[in-house]
Structure 1
Amino acid sequence: MAISLPDARQLSDEVLEALRLRALRGCELGFTEADVAAMLGVSQETVSHWWTAYATGGLDAIPSARTGRPVGTGRTLSDEQARHIQNQIDHQSPEELGIPSPLWSRRAVRDLIRQEFSIAMPVRTVGEYLRRWGYTAKRPRRHARQQDPEEVRRWLEETYPAIEKRAAEQGAAIYWCDETGVAADEHPRYGYARKGCPATMEVPDTHIRMNQISAISNAGTVRFMTYKGSMDGALFTVFLGRLLRTVTRKILLIVDRLKAHEKRTVANWVEAHKDRIEVIPMPARTPELNPDEYLNNDLKGNVNEAGLPANKEDLRSRMQRFMRRLFFAPKHVMNYFLHPCVQYAAGT
Structure 2
Amino acid sequence: EGEKPSAVVESYGFHRSVIYRWMRTVKGRGKGLRALASRKGTGRPKKLTPAQERQVFRWINGKNPLQYGFDFGLWTRQIVRELVEREFGVRLSLASIGGMLARLGLSAQKPLQRAYQRDPEAIERWQRETYPAIARRAKREKADVYFWDESGFRADAVQGTTWGVKGETPVVQTPGQRQSIGAASAVSAKGAFWFATYKGALSGELFVDLLKKLMYRRKKALHLIVDGLPAHKKAVVKDYVASTQGKLTLHFLPGYAPDLN
Do the structures match in fold with TM over 0.5?
Answer: yes
1:230 is aligned to 2:201: yes
1:215 is aligned to 2:186: yes
1:218–1:129 distance in 2 versus 1, CA, 3 Å: same
Q: Larger deviation: 136-145 or 221-230? A: 136-145
CA shift for structure 1 position 72: 4.1
Q: Which amino acid is 1:245 matched to? A: Y
1:284 is aligned to 2:255: yes
CA distance in 1: counterparts of 2:196 and 2:216, whole angstroms: 13
1:250–1:286 distance in 2 versus 1, CA, 3 Å: same
Once the two structures are superposed, residues 93-136 of structure 1 have per-residue CA deviations (whole angstroms, 9 ceiling, x without a partner) of 33333333433332343233234334332221111111111223
- Within-5 A mapping of 1:174-323: 174-290=145-261
The aligned residue for residue 160 of structure 1 is: 131
* Matched-pair contact (CA < 8 Å) for 1:253–1:278: yes
1:243–1:191 distance in 2 versus 1, CA, 3 Å: same
Q: Larger deviation: 88-97 or 268-277? A: 88-97
Q: Which amino acid is 1:262 matched to? A: K
The aligned residue for residue 124 of structure 1 is: 95
Q: Which amino acid is 1:287 matched to? A: P
CA distance in 1: counterparts of 2:110 and 2:213, whole angstroms: 37
The aligned residue for residue 330 of structure 1 is: none
* Matched-pair contact (CA < 8 Å) for 1:99–1:112: no
2:140 pairs with one of 157, 160, 169: 169
* Matched-pair contact (CA < 8 Å) for 1:99–1:111: no
- Within-5 A mapping of 1:89-100: 89-100=60-71
CA shift for structure 1 position 190: 1.4
1:118–1:222 distance in 2 versus 1, CA, 3 Å: same
Q: Which amino acid is 1:103 matched to? A: L
1:174–1:96 distance in 2 versus 1, CA, 3 Å: farther
Q: Which amino acid is 1:77 matched to? A: L
The aligned residue for residue 49 of structure 2 is: 78
Q: Which protein shows a greater Rg?
A: 2
* Matched-pair contact (CA < 8 Å) for 1:143–1:288: no
The aligned residue for residue 107 of structure 1 is: 78
CA shift for structure 1 position 139: 3.3
Q: TM-score, normalised by structure 1?
A: 0.57
CA distance in 2: counterparts of 1:270 and 1:181, whole angstroms: 25
Partner-residue secondary structure (3-state), 2:216: helix
Q: Larger deviation: 129-138 or 98-107? A: 98-107
* Matched-pair contact (CA < 8 Å) for 1:216–1:223: yes
1:137 is aligned to 2:137: no
Q: TM-score, normalised by structure 2?
A: 0.75
| Runs (5+) with no aligned partner, structure 1 | 1-70, 291-348
Give the number of equivalent residue pairs: 219
CA distance in 2: counterparts of 1:142 and 1:114, whole angstroms: 30
The aligned residue for residue 54 of structure 1 is: none
Q: Larger deviation: 158-167 or 263-272? A: 158-167
Percentage of pairs with the same residue = 33
Partner-residue secondary structure (3-state), 2:61: helix
Partner-residue secondary structure (3-state), 2:152: strand
| Runs (5+) with no aligned partner, structure 2 | 1-42
Q: Which amino acid is 1:270 matched to? A: V
Once the two structures are superposed, residues 130-177 of structure 1 have per-residue CA deviations (whole angstroms, 9 ceiling, x without a partner) of 111122333333322331222222223322232223233322222111
Instruction: Name the Cα RMSD after superposition.
Output: 2.3
Q: Which amino acid is 2:49 matched to? A: S
CA distance in 1: counterparts of 2:124 and 2:206, whole angstroms: 32
